[in-house]
Amino acid sequence: MHPVLNHLKRTVCALSLLGLAFQASAQTKVDDAWVRATVPTQSASGAFMTVTADSDSKLLSVASPVAKDVQIHEMSMKNDVMTMGPVKSVELPAGKAVSFDPNGYHVMLMGLTGQLKEGDSVPLTLTVENAKGEKETVEVKAPVRALTNMGGHDHSKMH
Amino acid sequence: MTALLTRRKVLAGMGVLGLGLLAGCDTRGQLSYKYGKDLSDKILGRTFKLKNPEGETMSLSSFRGMMPMIFFGFTQCPAVCPTTLARAAQIKKLMGRDGDRLQVVFITLDPERDTPQILDAYVKAFDPSFVALYGTLEETKATAKEFDVFYEKVPAGDTYTISHTSTSYVYDSRGELRLGLSTSLTAQECTEDLLTVMEVC
């Protein structure tokens, strides 16, 4: 093998190991975060993601510079009536991927400071507390997706 | 295969429609829906008068000749409302040419925050043919009551969100209430039932 290539390979290997080590130190993982785009002067929108904690924890709050007030809401459906409202926290059982999608829990960005356009990126800071009462913050950059995105599990079966 | 069946159904539907027009369009016939709820025994939405973003007064008869599909919501709704409107846009596409006769109508339950400008931009982001309607608080309340739509403000911090009925109400082209579509149905399922309505009227 070419010496330079070999060297490069080793570096990549070391870097990926470093990446793994970094990953292991984080207790809460956030995947597939996205925010729904808005039309001009619309003052609220939703943020969606999957959150997995490695030990029994709670999501206490979410903050974002794009909104004056960020709340965690729960949506439920009974007899075709959609019920919504804020919750104090969301349980994150160890190792369980908890979905924040248009069909259940979601993050409400209220009092938006401006229009959210498709392709923008929204910083979100999640505060998670484990069973020992230790708090951890997780920073996420959530891309803004089209207003028309069906999100979550796609009901359309078109894909 | 599905597309083929649908096309055949559409052709059959057009035949029946032709006969229906000749016979004066039989609205008495009981239709069987595969997914939606038959609402033909209910009388809903006959007298409402609301405004479109241009300020024109609209009622059910404004949509005569079209097949109105009416849905209640509010633009700050993060989940059900955009998902239902996105599904409506898909249904319109799945219906092909018949989709031109589907008139999606979004009635806001939040006239305090949903200005005509926001409403218009919002529904047209899903499909340029969609229409949004609004009224005063009293008119909104009366319209919801007329449709047997439940809604209530839920305090959220120093603002509020709204819980509400999420059914889509479908009328035939003569303004007869036909079908209730739940949000749990797929665009494909809704399309099949909508084409069944079209077969008659």
pLDDT of residue A155: 38
Cα B75 from chain centre: 16
Predicted confidence (pLDDT) per residue in A117-132, tens digit = 999 999 999 999 999 9
Evaluate if residue A19 carries a pLDDT over 80: no
pLDDT of residue B31: 79
DSSP 8-state code for residue B139? H
Whether B84 contacts A148, CB under 8 Å: no
pLDDT of residue A27: 84
Length reported for chain B: 201
Task: Tell which B residues from 161 to 190 touch A, by Cβ distance under 8 Å.
Answer: 161-167, 180, 182-188
Is residue B134 classed exposed, middle or buried when 0-12, 13-18 and 19+ CB atoms within 10 A define those classes? Answer: buried
Can you tell me the mean pLDDT for A46-72?
Answer: 97
Evaluate if residue A26 carries a pLDDT over 60: no
Predicted confidence (pLDDT) per residue in B107-152, tens digit = 999 999 999 999 999 999 999 999 999 999 999 999 999 999 999 9
Would you tell me how many other CB atoms lie within 10 Å of the CB of residue B126?
22
Chain A interface, best mutation among B42, B161, B164, by max A CB count within 10 A: B161
Domain residue ranges in chain B: 37-197
Give Cβ neighbours of residue B201 (< 8 Å, ≥ 6 apart).
Answer: B17, B20, B25, B26, B27, B172, B173, B174, B176
Instruction: Show residues of chain B in contact with A81, CB under 8 Å.
Output: 150, 163-166
Tell me the pLDDT band of A151, cut-offs 50, 70 and 90: low
Tell me which residue of A124, A123, A116 sits closest to A61, measured CA to CA: A124
Joined tokens for residue A78 = 């009974």
pTM for the model stands at 0.82
Architecture of domain B37-197: 3-Layer(aba) Sandwich (3.40)
Collapsing DSSP to helix, strand or coil, B169 comes out as strand
Joined tokens for residue A147 = 């207003």
Helix axes B2-23, B187-200, angle to 10 degrees: 30
